[in-house]
A and B are shown apart, each in its own frame.
Chain A
Amino acid sequence: AQSVSQHNHHVILSEAASLELGCNYSYGGTVNLFWYVQYPGQHLQLLLKYFSGDPLVKGIKGFEAEFIKSKFSFNLRKPSVQWSDTAEYFCAVMGWSSASKIIFGSGTRLSIRP
Chain B
Amino acid sequence: DSGVTQTPKHLITATGQRVTLRCSPRSGDLSVYWYQQSLDQGLQFLIQYYNGEERAKGNILERFSAQQFPDLHSELNLSSLELGDSALYFCASSAITGTSGAGEQFFGPGTRLTVL
Contacts and interface: CB of A to CB of B under 8 A. Distances in A.
A46 B105 contact: yes
Interface string A78-107: 000000000000101010111111111011
B93 to A, nearest CB: 12
Nearest to A98: B98
7 contacts: A43-B107, A44-B107, A51-B101, A96-B100, A100-B98, A101-B58, A107-B42
How many chain B residues sit at the interface, stated as a range, is: 20 to 34
Interface in B62-116: 90, 92, 97-110
A36 B109 CA distance: 14
A32 B107 CA distance: 18
> Which 10 pairs across A and B sit closest by C-beta, in order of nearness?
A98-B98, A94-B103, A101-B56, A43-B107, A44-B107, A106-B42, A32-B103, A104-B43, A51-B100, A102-B103
A46 B104 contact: yes
Contact of B110 (A43, A49, A92, A104): A43
Interface string A13-51: 000000000000000001010101000001111100101
Interface size class of A (residues with CB under 8 A): 20 to 34
Contact of B103 (A34, A42, A44): A34
A71 B102 CA distance: 22
Interface in A39-86: 42-46, 49, 51-52
B2 A45 contact: yes
A51 B110 CA distance: 27
Given A49-B104, A102-B45, A102-B105, A43 B98 contact: no
Contacts of B106: 46
Contact of B102 (A43, A100, A103): A100
A43 B100 contact: no
Contacts of B103: 32, 34, 49, 92, 94, 100, 102
